């Protein structure tokens, strides 16, 4: 089956969450020994997960943090505080367990998987032309779909999106500006630490990339090919494939959310299988989350990426499900219920 056909078939199979399962979780939570709704967003998350997993009977969730890595031709424009060689160095750091996402995934009891989508062999420079061909974009998306299917087969319930790629806040900004018809100045941020002059330069690079790669926002795959990155394309496929397999998709920061936006443009219902872990200081992130209809769990000024913010939020997701599974009901505990 061709990549294009696999993507099309995957999109066609995406369904919204199971409302009946979510409603059953709500009823179960309302019988627990606490005022109705008093655990706020924790209860909402439990209900959302029941809908996504299509059952209110939730065991201990198994989570995998997927870190997709690739290089970006646009790094040649001086849009990052770090040299491009850091992508490969950090992939080594992920493999040896010393990076932030490794520490946080371990603490959260999640497995960590690293995927090299084009480290060294990265995309072309979007300042001068398209990042990749449509066939290359489809190849990376299809690979994400296949990996999601494999992870579902391994028994994971939650897929955490993570990424590494020097220059990829620029790529994500270009994608976001194109898909939302937004001004690059309202989308671009300081990434891993640009100063004022460097931020202005980054905005100009994105502006130029949008002119050079004029494309139709109604064709999200074309936008992805023109302005995206290999790791972003892979994450688009991962989100789509995870949705088809009823897995919870936990977004990290701006870059993974830009990938989620592409997925949601291809299959709007896929956004309903997503949870937003945290709000990044990158201005584009809030714009993307608003489009996806997602409210972040954390707001701790995290701007590292990797999947670190999502790994940090995982214990909240586990806690939400534990409340549903482990709390006593008013009846079991012999506690008087006010009915509120």
- Catalytic residue list: 306
For 57, other C-beta atoms within 10 Å of its C-beta total: 12
Least separation, in Å, of the C-beta of 156 and its own copies? Answer: 19
The DSSP code sequence of 14-28 is -----HHHHHHHHHH
**Contact stretch for its own copies (CB under 8 A) within 49-57, 123-131, 235-243, 332-340:** 332-340
The helix (H) or strand (E) run that includes residue 275 is: strand 274-276
Which of these, 149, 176, 144, lies nearest to 163 by C-alpha position? Answer: 144
Distances (CA, A) of 89 to 39, 70, 93, 118, 277: 42, 12, 6, 14, 26
Site for its own copies in 76-105 (CB under 8 A): 81-83, 85-86, 89-90, 92-93, 96-100, 103-104
Q: Which two tokens stand for residue 273?
A: 């299988």
286, 194 contact by CB (below 8 A): no
Nearer to its own copies, 24 or 316 (CB): 316
Choosing from 136, 169, 256, 308, the residue that interacts with its own copies (CB under 8 A) is: 308
Distance CA 156, CA 42 (A): 21
Instruction: State the binding string over 43-82 for its own copies (x if CB under 8 A, else -).
Output: --------------------------------------xx
Residue count (the chain):
340
Q: Is 172 in the site for its own copies (CB under 8 A)?
A: no
Distance CA 70, CA 67 (A): 10
Least separation, in Å, of the C-beta of 329 and its own copies? Answer: 8
For 176, other C-beta atoms within 10 Å of its C-beta total: 30
**Contact stretch for its own copies (CB under 8 A) within 2-10, 47-55, 240-248, 302-310:** 302-310
Nearer to its own copies, 87 or 125 (CB): 87
CA angle 172, 240, 253 (to 5 degrees): 35
Least separation, in Å, of the C-beta of 195 and its own copies? Answer: 9
309, 287 contact by CB (below 8 A): no
The helix (H) or strand (E) run that includes residue 118 is: strand 111-118
Nearer to its own copies, 16 or 281 (CB): 281
Instruction: State the binding string over 195-234 for its own copies (x if CB under 8 A, else -).
Output: ----------------------------------------
DSSP lists the bridge partners of residue 32 as 329
Distance CA 217, CA 219 (A): 5
Q: Is 31 in the site for its own copies (CB under 8 A)?
A: no
Which of these, 313, 339, 324, 33, lies nearest to 158 by C-alpha position? Answer: 313
Choosing from 129, 154, 192, 269, the residue that interacts with its own copies (CB under 8 A) is: 192
Q: Is 36 in the site for its own copies (CB under 8 A)?
A: yes
Q: Is 133 in the site for its own copies (CB under 8 A)?
A: no
Site for its own copies in 238-257 (CB under 8 A): none
* Pairing state between β 111-118 and 63-70: parallel
Q: Is 12 in the site for its own copies (CB under 8 A)?
A: no
Q: Is 232 helix (H, G, I), strand (E, B) or coil?
A: helix
Q: Is 35 in the site for its own copies (CB under 8 A)?
A: yes
Q: Is 193 in the site for its own copies (CB under 8 A)?
A: yes
Instruction: State the binding string over 141-170 for its own copies (x if CB under 8 A, else -).
Output: ------------------------------
- The site for its own copies (CB under 8 A) is made up of 32-36, 38-42, 81-83, 85-86, 89-90, 92-93, 96-100, 103-104, 106-108, 192-193, 281, 297-304, 308, 312, 315-316, 318-319, 322-323, 326-328, 332-336, 338, 340
């Amino acid at each position: 089956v061709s990549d294009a056909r696999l993507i099309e078939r995957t999109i066609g199979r995406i369904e919204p969450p199971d409302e009946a399962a979510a409603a059953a979780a709500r009823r179960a939570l309302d019988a627990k020994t606490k005022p109705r709704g008093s655990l706020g967003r924790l209860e909402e998350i439990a209900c959302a997960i029941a809908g996504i997993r299509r059952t209110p009977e939730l065991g201990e969730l198994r989570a995998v943090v997927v870190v997709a890595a690739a290089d970006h031709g646009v790094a040649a424009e001086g849009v990052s505080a770090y040299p491009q060689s850091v992508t490969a160095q950090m992939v080594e750091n992920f493999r040896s367990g010393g990076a932030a996402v490794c520490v946080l995934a371990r603490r959260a009891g999640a497995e960590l998987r690293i995927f090299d989508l084009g480290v060294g062999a990265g995309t072309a420079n979007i300042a001068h032309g398209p990042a990749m061909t449509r066939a290359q974009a489809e190849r990376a998306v299809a690979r994400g779909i296949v990996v999601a299917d494999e992870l579902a087969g391994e028994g994971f319930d939650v897929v955490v999106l993570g990424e590494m790629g020097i220059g990829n806040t620029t790529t994500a900004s270009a994608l976001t500006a194109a898909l939302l018809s937004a001004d690059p100045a309202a989308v671009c941020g300081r990434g891993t630490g640009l100063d004022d002059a460097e931020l202005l330069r980054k905005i100009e690079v994105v502006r130029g990339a949008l002119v050079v790669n004029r494309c139709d926002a109604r064709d999200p795959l074309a936008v992805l090919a023109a302005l995206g990155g290999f790791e972003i394309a892979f994450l688009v496929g991962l989100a789509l494939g995870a949705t088809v397999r009823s897995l919870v998709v936990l977004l990290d920061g701006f870059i993974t959310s830009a990938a989620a936006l592409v997925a949601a443009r291809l299959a709007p219902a896929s956004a309903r299988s997503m949870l937003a872990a945290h709000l990044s200081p990158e201005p584009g992130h809030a714009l993307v989350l608003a489009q996806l209809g997602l409210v972040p769990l954390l707001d701790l000024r995290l701007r590292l990426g990797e999947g670190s913010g999502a790994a940090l939020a995982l214990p909240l997701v586990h806690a939400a499900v534990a409340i549903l599974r482990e709390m006593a009901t008013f009846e079991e505990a012999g506690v008087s219920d006010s009915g509120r």
